Structure 1
Amino acid sequence: MSQVTVISPTDVYEFAPAGNSGPRKRRTILWLAAAFWGLHALALWVADLLDGHPHLLRVAVIRIALTLIGLAFCYAIHIVLQKLAGRPWRKKAPIVLFVSLVAAELFAWCSYFALAYAKGAPIHVTIEGSGVIRTLVSWTWFFLAWVGLYLAVQYGYEAREEERRSAHLRSMAQSAKLQALHYQINPHFLFNSFNSVSALILDGRAEDANAMVERLAAFFRVNLATNPDVDISLAEEIALQATYLEIEQVRHPDLEFRVDLPKALEPAAIPAFLLQPLVENAIKHGGSGVPGSGAASITIAAQQDGEVLRVAVTNNCPAHVDDRCISGTRTGLRNVRERLSGRFEMGAKLTTERLGASGFRASLQMPLSFVE
Structure 2
Amino acid sequence: MNQPSDLLRHDVYEIAGADPSDNLANQKLHAFLWLAGAFWGVHALALWVADALDNHPHLYLAGAMRLLLTVLGLTLCYGIHIILQKLSARSWRKKAPIVLVASLVSAELFAWCTYVGLSYAHATPVNLALSSSIFIRTLVTWTWFFLAWVGLYLAVQYSFEVREEERRSSRLRTMAQSAQLQALHYQINPHLLFNSFNSVSALILDGRTDEANVMVERLAAFFRINLATNPDIDIGLAEEIALQTIYLEIEQTRYPDLAFRVDLPPALARAAVPAFLLQPLVENAIKHGAAGASDIEEVSIAIAARGEDGRLRVVIENSCAAPSGRSEVCGTNTGLRNVRDRLANRFGNTAVLTAERFGISRFRATVELPLVLIA
Provide the TM-score with structure 1 as the length reference.
0.92
Q: Which residue of 1 aligns with 2:288?
A: 285
1:321 is paired with a residue of what secondary structure? coil
What is the alpha-carbon distance in structure 1 between the residues aligned to residue 264 and residue 283 of structure 2? Answer: 20
Query: Residues 289 and 189 of structure 1: is their aligned pair in 2 closer, same or farther, counting only changes over 3 Å?
Result: farther
The alignment of Structure 1 onto Structure 2 pairs a total of residues equal to: 372
Change in Cα spacing, 1:161 to 1:2, as seen in structure 2 (3 Å) is closer
What CA deviation, in whole Å up to 9, does each residue of 1:178-237 have, x standing for no partner?
Answer: 222111125443333222222222222221111111111111221222111222222222
Counterpart contact for 1:29–1:153, Cα < 8 Å:
yes
* Equivalent pair of 1:281/1:329 in contact (CA under 8 Å): no
Alignment of 1:1-372 (within 5 A): 4-8=4-8, 10-13=11-14, 15-18=17-20, 19-185=22-188, 187-286=190-289, 288-289=291-292, 291-321=294-324, 323=326, 326=329, 328-372=331-375
Q: 1:251 to 1:71 in 2, by over 3 A?
A: closer
Q: 4+ residue runs of structure 1 moved beyond 6 angstroms?
A: none
Inter-partner Cα distance in structure 2 for 1:162 and 1:326: 44
Q: Deviations over 1:281-330 (max 9, x none)?
A: 11222254264334322111110112110001111234443638716332
Contact 1:288 1:295 in 2 (8 A): no
Structure 1 residue identity aligned to 2:102: V
- TM-score, normalised via structure 2 length: 0.91
Per-residue Cα deviation, 1:247-281 (whole angstroms, up to 9, x for no partner) = 22222222222222112212222222111111111
Task: In structure 2, list runs of 5 or more residues that go unmatched.
Answer: none
3-state SS of the aligned residue for 1:229?
coil
Given the superposition, is the C-alpha separation of residues 4 and 62 from structure 1 closer, same or farther in structure 2, using an over 3 Å criterion?
A: closer
Deviates more, 1:167-176 or 1:226-235: 167-176
2:295 counterpart SS class: coil
1:29-61 Cα deviation digits (max 9, x unpaired): 233222211211211121122222222222222
Other structure's SS at 1:100 match: helix
Note the C-alpha offset of 1:140. 0.8
Conservation of the 8 A alpha-carbon contact between 2:288 and 2:330 = no
User: Alpha carbons of 1:161 and 1:104: their partners in 2 closer, same or farther (altered >3 Å)?
Assistant: same
Query: Taking structure 1 as reference, are residues 179 and 318 closer, same or farther at Cα in structure 2, changes over 3 Å only?
Result: closer
Given that residues 287 and 297 in structure 1 are in contact (C-alpha distance below 8 angstroms), is that contact kept between their aligned partners in structure 2?
yes
AA partner of residue 13 (structure 2)? V
Residue 6 of structure 1 and its aligned partner are, at CA, apart by 4.8
Deviation track 1:147-202 (CA, whole Å, cap 9, x = no partner) reads 11222222233333333333333323322222221111254433332222222222
> Identity rate of aligned residues, in percent?
63
Superposed CA offset, 1:107-146 (max 9, x none): 1122222222222333332343332222122111110111
**Structure 2: distance between partners of 1:2 and 1:84:** 58
Give the whole-Å Cα distance in 2 for the aligned partners of 1:203 and 1:371: 46
CA distance in 2, matches of 1:116, 1:355: 96
1:26/1:258 CA distance change after superposition, 3 Å: closer
CA distance in 2, matches of 1:23, 1:193: 54
AA aligned opposite 1:13: E
RMSD of the TM alignment (CA)?
A: 2.3
